Amino acid sequence: MANSIKIRAKLKGDTTQVKCLMTHPMETGLRKDSKTGKMIPAHFISEVMATSGGKTIMTAYWSGGISKNPYLSFDFKGAAKGDEVTIAWKDNQGGSDSETAKIS
């Protein structure tokens, strides 16, 4: 899923605030298609990782309980303006994507 992540990272004092929006269907596998009546297969982001300066700063393990097009926001310390933050996700069907932003 190319270009499925929008990310912003802003330094406030000594803390970097990261906000990102991921485009993904996040299907639980428990919902039926209204036209066919067949179950829609599970398709959800299972892992989200954030890295900066060659270090993993955050890892989240998700399941089908997260809403469609999930929004993620977190803060971390130890970065400076101009450093980069990368968000990467993997889903339960083998899909993945990543995006990098400079801290402003």
5-102 to CATH, choices 2.102.10.10, 2.60.40.10, 3.40.50.720, 3.40.50.300:
2.60.40.10
Q: Where are the domains of the chain?
A: 5-102
Token pair recorded at residue 62: 């998700």
- CB neighbour burial string for 42-54, b if at least 16 within 10 angstroms, e if fewer: bbbbbebebbbee
User: What pLDDT is stored for residue 3 in this prediction?
Assistant: 84
At 18-76, the pLDDT tens digits run: 999 999 999 999 999 999 999 999 999 999 999 999 999 999 999 989 999 999 999 99
**Could you tell me which residues come within 8 angstroms of residue 80 by beta carbon, excluding any fewer than 6 positions away?**
11, 103
Confidence of residue 2 (pLDDT cuts 50, 70, 90): low
Q: What is the rounded CA–CA span in Å between residue 17 and residue 15?
A: 6
Parallel, antiparallel or unpaired: strands 15-22 and 5-12 = antiparallel
pTM over 0.75: yes
Tell me the Cα Rg of the chain.
Answer: 16
Yes or no: say if 6 and 99 are a contact pair by the CB < 8 Å rule: yes
For the segment 77-103, the average pLDDT, to the nearest whole number, is 97
